[in-house]
Amino acid sequence: MSDGIINKVTESALVSLDLEEYFPKDEIAVFDMKDYLFMGLILKEKDFRESLKNLDVEVFRQKAVAVTCSADAVIPMWAYMLVASYLEPVANEIIFGTKEEMQQQLLLQNINKIAVNEYLDKRVVIKGCGELPVGEAAYLHATKLLRPVVKSIMYGEPCSTVPIFKKK
């Protein structure tokens, strides 16, 4: 009989994947179209173009920019294109959407960079319950990427997992 306590978790050959490690670190700025509309509702082309010419693009430098419109206004497609043409030279990333949607898109881009071959035939536990708002889309995406190469996928902590997939 052994005198020591055996840690079955460390001996289980489980590989833990923490999706919080892929959470975007980019600073996110929001460009709200409403701020460039007449009375916050109407796009006047001449005024809109002039305001973009006077835009201090430096506040968007090296940031991920979420372009949105918080007003219930009809914005022509070319206006979004024009905004992108001003932001593209300075921003790291530009999307149409909210700050939260930008965070999710960046997270999914980071998860896409996972070297899935490192998980070939491994038993993977995708860590759950963290501090950051990782969200359902990230767990779904990680599962989709890993399923073709892993031996099994579980959710939770190595000491308490929920089975998701097991290769037959």
pLDDT band (50, 70, 90) for residue 129 = confident
Note the pLDDT tens digit of each residue in 44-100. Answer: 999 999 999 999 999 999 999 999 999 999 899 999 999 999 999 999 999 999 999
Q: In what order do the strands lie in the sheet with 152-157?
A: 14-17, 123-127, 152-157, 160-166
Note the pLDDT tens digit of each residue in 23-33. Answer: 999 999 999 99
Domain limits, the chain: 14-24+104-166, 28-91
- Global pTM? 0.81
pLDDT above 70 covers a percentage of the chain that reads 93
Q: Which of 79, 100, 87 is nearest to 28 (CA)?
A: 100
Q: Which of 151, 148, 164, 146 is nearest to 121 (CA)?
A: 151
- HSE of 161 in the Cβ direction (CA atoms, 13 Å)? 21
